[in-house]
């Protein structure tokens, strides 16, 4: 049996010798007694056995045990391999007999074959032979560089991320200043490993090798930034790396931005704020030009990077993002204050460039942020001309996208026009999906009633007389509906009003009311935030808060609100204009509407020690804090506590559950406020209503409901019907509880008509039912484009409102009413 095993082993070795002549084999040295010895060095010997040359290594203490290292047929190859092998392995064997193991020898042979010019120190390093490094025969090669790659043992140890070996090499006086054929030092390789290795190298860095530039002109900081190694980058900076140093066309900040490494960017800017303004020498781009993701854009903008910075070609970051079709980056830049009308090379606007991408989503993203759709370039070419002459499949969609927001056709005599842009053309394009909603049908009955009421002002004058306010200017009030992320629609409408009037919204209204998203917006306006800023605020909110599944993290929402409004800012810190924000006290049945105010409530104001009677709360409900104690962020959180989207804010839920359209509640509040003043004999402070403006977050499409019947099922089919019916009924109850359109608006309009008060309502018809927590930029841009179409269709109404508002300003109420008569006639 043993004989058969030996025969099988011999046969197997023979096959392996033929297939892989470099496979290590354990042999008996006595088998070579009758073979020709070609040469011998120490424990290594080369024999000729028949037609092959066999290199073996002897065990020093065992005369009959050896390893066959290779078996080659050509003498020159065998001699060459043997000479190189014994020169490199002899020192290692002398340093430690632990090398004489089959697996270890195989690693050494394979490594040496791949890297025949490496020294014994290279091999010891690569195989982790730490104990061999201090042997004199190996130590003398500790700083030897490979003649081909220029790599030294210290480079190999760092590349392999072997911390203990790096420490040993440093102790053995390995030089950190050695450079390889590419100009890289050990620091360049350490930049992609870990901070411990950098610390070890720093103990020997006397000549500040940490700032050495490689053949590409880049320092270790560049390398760390390119490979997203934020800890290494931080450690390099600690040990004196200079982020302002480069011999390439870019700085470390550009590398970090290119790779979208948020942490690296933060570290670099924290230690060297000047990085934000550094331009690369090739394109002249600031770091924000190099951004590839919206997160990177947001971070750079937050850190203070100029969103309108120009490169050598005069391009802003928006130009670059448009050319790359990065819609999310485009929206992020625009929401951070980037100029949508920036002019570039040859007078091309951003819209010109967007149209050249032939991407409808890119074009919409530029339009909804206020770009001029009729701005010509240096050659007199209008945006519509580019769209109409596109050869892409999206040509009709591009023309339609422009036409619906008022893009003009080319002037007469313009060359190269097509039917989509020439002055007498008929083609207005076609939508790429759902068409834009049609213009609103006028509410004729209400408008006629209101006009008639204004023509006979007896009741109007009687109302004025009853409160003795003949000389007082009317209050201009603004009501903002709830609707989650659709609050962007409110901002878009307010921007149009602001542009038409030429004044900030905050200066045109005396009283604000808001629910949920409208309440947050009202508070933002009250505290001096511009509409462009609030648009960015909403985009930041959906990116930072609407993360994961519902219900969303309430702590993130609260932190966001604290950051925007301040943790200690109270409702009464800003008293003009007045604002009321709705919330629902849900700790009782039936639930109650609560109004967060920046003034004392009318009922509280009307109470005095002589008139108020002590009340007994049999339910022992804790009283709500007064305006002077109520933090603004908490009021915003309460009004936005939409069930299933966020946790309740203590006992408060979203105000939209009772007053999603707070217009009537605002009118009631003003009436009660005036009555309280009259009760307190302060008629001189009373003011009538002068104008009511109500804004909605958009009307969703009307869709059919097949079944809303809930009944006792009589079979399996009825069970299915019951399920659909129950779902439809649930949706119906939710819709009606949060109703902000339809009869709710009709009641407000009728209320104002009865007392001859101008009433304006704006709420666009949307193409899709946009969820309250929608986050996709293309969906939001489509929603805002629908709004822009609506505003263009109602531009005359917007202009009339602007004239009424400016006329009412400064007490010119009667002139304002006359303007309003023109608006509704």
- Catalytically active residues are 516, 654
- Axis crossing angle, helix 487-501 with helix 795-808, rounded to the nearest 10: 60
| Cβ neighbours of 175 (radius 10 Å) | 17
Token pair in block for residue 596: 């967060």
Distance, CA of 784 to CA of 40 (rounded, Å): 85
CB 524 within 8 A of CB 537: yes
How far is Cα 714 from Cα 721, in angstroms, rounded to an integer? 11
Residues 795, 823: Cα–Cα separation, whole Å? 11
Distance CA 582, CA 605 (A): 19
Place of tokens 């201009």: 476
The SS3 assignment for 520 reads helix
Residue 652 near residue 585, CB atoms below 8 Å: yes
Structure tokens at 771: 């969820």
Q: 510: Cβ–Cβ under 8 A, 6 or more apart, which residues?
A: 475, 476, 477, 577, 578, 687
Q: What is the DSSP string of 229-241?
A: -HHHHHHHHHTT-
Between CA 391 and CA 415 the distance in angstroms is 17
In which residue are the tokens 């004729």 written?
A: 444
- Residue 286's nearest CA partner among 325, 326, 322, 313 is 313
Per-residue b or e along 493-529, where b marks 16 or more CB atoms closer than 10 Å to that residue's CB: bbbbbbebbeeebbebbbbbbbbbbbbbbbbbbbbeb
Separation CA 809–CA 233 (nearest Å): 58
Q: Which helix (H) or strand (E) holds 56?
A: strand 52-59
Q: How far is CA 185 from the centre of its chain?
A: 36
- Rounded to the nearest 10°, the torsion over CA 749, 753, 759, 763 is 20
How many other CB atoms are there within 10 angstroms of residue 411's CB atom?
13
Q: Is 580 exposed, middle or buried (0-12, 13-18, 19+ CB in 10 A)?
A: buried
The burial class, CB within 10 Å (0-12 / 13-18 / 19+), for 304 is exposed
What's the full length of the chain, in residues? 825
Strands 689-695, 759-762: pairing kind:
parallel
- d(CA 787, CA 803) in angstroms, rounded, equals 21
Please report, for residues 191, 269, 286, 298, 332, the alpha-carbon distance to residue 276 in angstroms, rounded to integers and kept in the order given. 22, 7, 7, 13, 18
The 10 Å Cβ neighbour count of residue 617 is 8
- β-pair partners for 28: 65
Torsion angles phi and psi, residue 582, rounded to 5: -90, 145
């Amino acid at each position: 049996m043993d004989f058969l095993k030996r025969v099988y082993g011999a046969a197997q070795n023979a096959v392996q010798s033929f297939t892989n002549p470099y496979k290590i084999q354990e042999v008996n040295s006595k088998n070579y007694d009758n073979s020709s010895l070609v040469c011998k060095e120490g424990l290594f010997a080369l024999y000729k056995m028949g037609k092959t040359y066999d290199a073996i290594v002897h065990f020093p203490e065992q005369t009959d045990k050896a390893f066959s290292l290779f078996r080659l047929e050509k003498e020159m190859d065998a001699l060459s391999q043997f000479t190189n092998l014994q020169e490199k392995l002899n020192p290692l064997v002398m340093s430690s007999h632990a090398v004489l193991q089959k697996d270890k020898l195989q690693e050494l042979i394979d490594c040496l074959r791949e890297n025949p010019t490496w020294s014994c120190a290279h091999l010891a390093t690569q195989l982790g032979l730490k104990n061999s490094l201090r042997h004199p025969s190996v130590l003398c090669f500790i700083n030897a560089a490979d003649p081909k790659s220029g790599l030294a043992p210290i480079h190999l140890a760092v590349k392999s991320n072997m911390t203990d070996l790096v420490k040993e090499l440093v102790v053995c006086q390995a030089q950190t200043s050695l450079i390889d054929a590419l100009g890289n030092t050990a620091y360049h390789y350490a930049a992609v490993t870990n901070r411990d290795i950098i610390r070890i190298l720093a103990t020997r860095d006397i000549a500040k090798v940490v700032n050495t530039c490689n053949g590409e002109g880049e320092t270790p900081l560049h390398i760390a930034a390119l490979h997203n190694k934020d800890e290494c980058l931080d450690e390099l900076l600690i040990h004196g790396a200079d982020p302002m140093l480069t011999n390439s066309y870019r700085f470390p900040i550009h590398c970090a931005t290119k790779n979208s490494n948020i942490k690296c960017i933060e570290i670099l800017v924290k230690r060297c704020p000047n990085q934000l303004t550094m331009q690369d020498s090739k394109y002249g781009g600031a770091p924000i030009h190099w951004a590839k993701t919206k997160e990177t854009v947001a971070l750079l903008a937050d850190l203070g990077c100029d969103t309108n910075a120009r490169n050598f070609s005069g391009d802003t970051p928006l130009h670059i993002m448009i050319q790359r079709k990065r819609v999310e980056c485009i929206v992020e830049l625009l929401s951070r204050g980037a100029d949508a009308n920036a002019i570039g090379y040859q007078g091309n606007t951003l819209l010109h460039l967007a149209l050249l991408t032939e991407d409808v989503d890119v074009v919409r993203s530029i339009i909804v942020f206020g770009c001029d759709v009729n701005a010509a370039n240096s050659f007199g070419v209008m945006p519509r001309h580019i769209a109409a002459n596109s050869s892409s499949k999206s040509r009709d969609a591009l023309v339609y996208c422009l036409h619906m927001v008022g893009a003009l056709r080319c002037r007469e005599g313009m060359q190269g026009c097509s039917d989509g842009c020439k002055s007498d053309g008929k083609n207005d394009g076609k939508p790429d999906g759902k068409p834009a909603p049609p213009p609103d049908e006028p509410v004729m009955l209400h408008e006629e009633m209101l006009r008639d009421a204004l023509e006979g002002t007896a009741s109007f004058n009687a109302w004025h007389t009853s409160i003795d306010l003949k000389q007082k200017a009317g209050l201009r009030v603004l009501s903002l509906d709830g609707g989650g992320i659709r609050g962007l629609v409110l901002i878009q409408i307010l921007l149009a009003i602001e542009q038409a009037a030429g004044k900030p919204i905050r200066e045109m209204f005396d009283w604000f009311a808001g629910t949920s998203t409208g309440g947050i917006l009202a508070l933002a306006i009250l505290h001096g935030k511009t509409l462009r800023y609030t648009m960015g605020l909403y985009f930041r909110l959906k990116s930072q808060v609407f993360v994961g599944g519902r219900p969303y993290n309430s702590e993130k929402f609260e932190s966001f609100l604290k950051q925007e409004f301040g943790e200690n800012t109270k409702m009464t810190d800003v008293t003009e204009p007045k604002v009321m924000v709705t919330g629902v006290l849900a700790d009782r049945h039936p639930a109650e509407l609560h109004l967060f105010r920046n003034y004392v409530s009318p009922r509280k104001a009307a109470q005095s020690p002589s008139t108020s009677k002590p009340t007994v709360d049999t339910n022992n409900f804790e009283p709500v804090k007064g305006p002077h104690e109520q933090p603004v962020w908490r009021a915003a959180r309460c009004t936005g506590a939409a069930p299933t989207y966020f946790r309740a804010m203590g006992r408060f839920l979203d105000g939209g559950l009772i007053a999603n359209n707070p217009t009537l509640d605002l009118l009631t509040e003003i009436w009660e406020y005036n009555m309280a003043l009259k009760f307190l004999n302060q008629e001189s402070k009373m003011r009538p209503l002068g104008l009511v403006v109500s804004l909605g977050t958009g009307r969703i499409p009307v869709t059919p409901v097949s079944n809303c019947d809930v009944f006792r099922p009589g079979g399996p089919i009825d069970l299915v019907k019951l399920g659909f019916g129950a779902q439809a009924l649930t949706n119906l109850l939710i819709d009606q509880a949060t109703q902000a359109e339809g009869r709710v608006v009709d009641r407000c309009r009728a209320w104002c008509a009865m007392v001859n008060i101008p009433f304006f309502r704006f709420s666009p018809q949307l193409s899709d039912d946009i969820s309250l927590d929608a986050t996709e930029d293309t969906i939001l841009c489509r929603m805002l484009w629908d709004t822009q179409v609506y505003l263009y269709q109602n531009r005359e109404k917007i202009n009339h409102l602007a004239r009424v508002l400016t006329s009412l300003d400064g007490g010119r109420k009667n002139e304002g009413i006359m303007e309003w008569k023109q608006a509704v006639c």
